[in-house]
Chains A and B, each alone.
Chain A
Amino acid sequence: MNNIYNDHPIFDPILFRIWTPHIKVLQESITKLVWLGTTGAVVVGFSRAGKTSAFEMIKSNILDRAGNKVPVVVYSVHRRDCKTIKQLYKHIFSKLKLDFKRNDDYEDFADKLCMHLAEMANNTNSKSVVFVVDEAQRLSIAQLDLFAELCDVLAQEYSLLLTVIFVGNREQLKRLLDKITNGENEHIEGRFFRRKIEFHGLESLSDVEYCLEQYDKYSSPYSDNPCCTECFLPEAYADGFRMKSLSTSIWGVFNEYRKALHIREWGMEYFIISTKLLLTDFLPQIGVDSYSDDVFKQCIELSNLVSDLAKPVKSHD
């Protein structure tokens, strides 16, 4: 048993990820952008909804029309000391582990980054590259010119399409979008911010069913292992118990919190923590027959959903 608790991927906060219907939608949306030759879009969603994880999950699944893999670079903007374009370049380079010197100028940075992106596309025979800028609300308007320049160079020199996806929290990104749409930055707006993709956490019973079913089926990331439910509840699993069967109860419990806290959706982080506690701690101890709504309430309490989201959040409408 100890080995399971040490090694099982469910305890790895980085490796353990679950597909949701909205991640599938996001993947389709990004693929559509690439197929249509769009230069950019914005992905907005509430905090802790799972946007960053979603891009990590879909980044190797974007294919072009010819079936070639489209390279996706995910970059998360740094707030600290990253106010100029050069500082942004330096941060991108250090994140992507590219070589740079202290005295490199803008041209050096742009050349090397374009070459890097072009080589990535060349390796997969793709004519497109997707550059995902996570936490885009931290960018200044001047820094957005960097991405416009990359688009131009890649298109003119390497005949490549660069699709830049800006990802951010709904409220904070709205401030940046307001500045962009004031008329002076039309070139940026037209290029990157005309298309908007909404990203959501879990919004319905069917979403919860979809996620819980994965505990019963997949043993990500090690496909040879038994599924998560079987691993932690072997006897109950043999008797026919499935996590999916708890979806109505789980959604019902969350619904109470949703109304009380005035939240629209269940962030993936909170969902995964709650279900992990249920599956790996509570159910093995009390047994599946003793499960009740109160048990899952405890799981939700322990996931910090209440303390984190105690303040009512405004509707995005």
Chain B
Amino acid sequence: MINWNTGSLFMRKYESDDNAVRRFLMANKIKGTQGYTRIRLEKSDSGTKKMARAIIQVYQGEKYWKDNPWLFLKNWSIIFPSRRHCPECAKECFHSHAYNYQWLERCPIHNVDLVKYCPECEKPWPHDFELLQRGKCWICGTHRPSSRKLRTQQLREHKESEIRMLEVLWHLKSFDKHLCHVLYHDFINNGLDTGVLVEDYSYPLLAFTAYPKIRDLLISVTSKEQCLPKEEYCIKPISSQIIENENHLALPTAHYIQPTVQQLVDELECALNSKGICIPKEQMDHPIYIDLAEDYCPFRMSFLIWRSILLQKEDSVCVAQSWSRIFTLMGIEAPCFPPLVQAIYDSNNSCFYSPDDKFCRWMLINNAITLYDYIFQHIQMFKYNSDNIPDADIRKFFHCNYLSSRVFRKYRITIGDNGSLVVIYSPLPTFSDIVDIQYKQSGAITFYSHVQDNMVRRFQYCQASNDLITAIIREADHKLSTREKSLSNMGNWCSYS
């Protein structure tokens, strides 16, 4: 057991994961360009202290890399876009996730422009897996400068005011977790059909609306060209349901989400176990790195990514974004977070109501299953470079009745008249619409109603026989595909029991 230096002397609050790797390498003077050295971060669970325990092990796995040359780290620098960094912070061995936000133009600490290239070696800022190849540069690499003055500068501690600014940016990231993948094109009204991420130019608008108190801070570090003038930010808070207390930056979570997610995780874990796929606990508790896939089992990989996203751990946004980029490069859509359900419009958008917990839970489950399916399919395609993965394989794997449907997949978020955040659940046509009247009249199917209190079944949208629902949804999908050829291939799993 090697007694590694942790680089704790360089550690500051709210640093990025990449920076933790850098300070570890710097403290141990690890050299080499082989790319065989893999470094694992070990974190505590509590927020900003996660880096305090730093990195403890360096693995050597030449055979793994020989068996998986396509995963060779140097290839990934092509896939991942270059990062942004403050050159002055780099000299002090500090980097924050916030520097990658597109709307952040200047360093909140040094007030200098964030740049994409190292001023010393003029190469793009390295990702953690490239750091070993940058050993010689003292600004972007792991080499420590020879000058005593510069060495001392690397150990400078942040002032209270600097920590405060980084803290606000950090909390924006956690806010982002709740909203980033929710569609809200009605809000920004620009026709985007993707979620807004914390890095996006339009993000400050959302943040200002949610947290008026941080407006001045964000304006001070944001490019004026990219953001709206101050007066346009005078919008009411997004939702009193979400922001209960402006002083408290954490968002409340519906009480059913955590047990539901845990239940799903348990179910899927059992399904994996029944296939002989066992995932060690230590793998589950660590962030997913592409290069850490020991045997690259698609089920296992999918499960780990899915679990990480669903549990919305600290790194889930980063993980989702990393994989999103890969999917984008491959020309396929990336998996999304399950949307939050705050309120539901009917099919005419004429009124909205707050759905009860059962419905929200059902929606969460549906989306969670969709998410796994998505990740799994894409992992398969990524591995085999093939999009010919039959649904039957997945269904066989689950041993349960999940049905793919492209009809029931549309969720949108918008701002209601009273300034509240609402999610439009708009299956068009609605499920009720696609069911022939003969079924309704025969009583073979009963539709869900939000006012109905005596719902006893677990994943219930409607009550009917399995065959009947399968037939109805298949028929609806068939009609839809013939009608809208251009509809994206983004599928959804509708569960029924």
From 75 to 128 in chain B, residues with beta carbon under 8 angstroms from any chain A beta carbon are none
A97, A99, A158: the one within 8 Å of B9 (CB): A158
| Contact (Cβ within 8 A) A115 B1 | no
Assess A123 versus B29: contact at CB under 8 Å? Given A99-B2, A157-B148: no
Answer yes or no: A280 CB below 8 A from chain B CBs: no
| Contact (Cβ within 8 A) A112 B29 | yes
Assess A118 versus B9: contact at CB under 8 Å? Given A99-B28, A101-B31, A112-B28: yes
Taken together as a complex, chains A and B put the C-alpha atoms of A161 and B7 apart, in Å, by 19
Taken together as a complex, chains A and B put the C-alpha atoms of A91 and B302 apart, in Å, by 46
Assess A115 versus B27: contact at CB under 8 Å? Given A157-B151, A158-B155: yes
Taken together as a complex, chains A and B put the C-alpha atoms of A123 and B148 apart, in Å, by 23
Q: Which residue of B lies closest to A101 (CB)?
A: B31
Q: Which residue of A lies closest to B154 (CB)?
A: A157
| Contact (Cβ within 8 A) B2 A119 | no
Answer yes or no: B152 CB below 8 A from chain A CBs: yes
Interface of A is mostly: helix
Q: Which residue of A lies closest to B31 (CB)?
A: A101
Taken together as a complex, chains A and B put the C-alpha atoms of A123 and B3 apart, in Å, by 15
Assess A122 versus B2: contact at CB under 8 Å? Given A101-B31, A111-B144, A115-B27: no
Contacts of B2 in A (CB 8 A): 97-99
A118, A122, A156: the one within 8 Å of B148 (CB): A156
| Total A-B contacts with CB atoms under 8 angstroms apart | 45
Among A99, A104, A123, the most chain B Cβ lie within 10 Å of the Cβ of A99
Contacts of A122 in B (CB 8 A): 8-9
Answer yes or no: B322 CB below 8 A from chain A CBs: no
Contact with B along A104-115 (1 / 0, CB 8 A): 100010011001
Taken together as a complex, chains A and B put the C-alpha atoms of A53 and B240 apart, in Å, by 66
Answer yes or no: B447 CB below 8 A from chain A CBs: no
Answer yes or no: B5 CB below 8 A from chain A CBs: yes
Contact with A along B1-25 (1 / 0, CB 8 A): 1111111110000000000000000
Q: Which residue of B lies closest to A93 (CB)?
A: B3
Contacts of A112 in B (CB 8 A): 5, 27-29
Contact with A along B148-174 (1 / 0, CB 8 A): 100110010000000000000000000
Contacts of A99 in B (CB 8 A): 2-4, 28, 30
Contacts of A156 in B (CB 8 A): 148
Interface of B is mostly: loop
Taken together as a complex, chains A and B put the C-alpha atoms of A99 and B144 apart, in Å, by 17
Contacts of B1 in A (CB 8 A): 97
From 61 to 109 in chain A, residues with beta carbon under 8 angstroms from any chain B beta carbon are 96-99, 101, 104, 108
Q: Which residue of B lies closest to A113 (CB)?
A: B5
Taken together as a complex, chains A and B put the C-alpha atoms of A118 and B11 apart, in Å, by 13
Taken together as a complex, chains A and B put the C-alpha atoms of A3 and B354 apart, in Å, by 69
Q: Which residue of A lies closest to B27 (CB)?
A: A115
Answer yes or no: A116 CB below 8 A from chain B CBs: yes
Assess A97 versus B27: contact at CB under 8 Å? Given A122-B9, A123-B8: no
Contacts of B7 in A (CB 8 A): 115, 119
Assess A157 versus B152: contact at CB under 8 Å? Given A112-B29, A115-B9, A115-B27: yes
By Cβ-Cβ distance, the 9 closest A-B pairs, closest first, are A97-B3, A99-B2, A115-B5, A115-B27, A108-B29, A157-B151, A116-B5, A119-B8, A98-B3
What are 25 A-B pairs at a CB distance below 8 A? A96-B3, A97-B1, A97-B2, A98-B2, A99-B2, A99-B3, A99-B30, A104-B29, A108-B29, A111-B144, A112-B5, A112-B29, A115-B7, A115-B27, A115-B28, A116-B3, A116-B5, A118-B9, A119-B9, A122-B8, A122-B9, A123-B8, A157-B148, A157-B151, A158-B155
Contacts A115-B9, A118-B9 known; 9 new A-B pairs at CB < 8 A: A96-B3, A99-B3, A99-B28, A99-B30, A108-B29, A111-B29, A111-B144, A122-B9, A157-B151
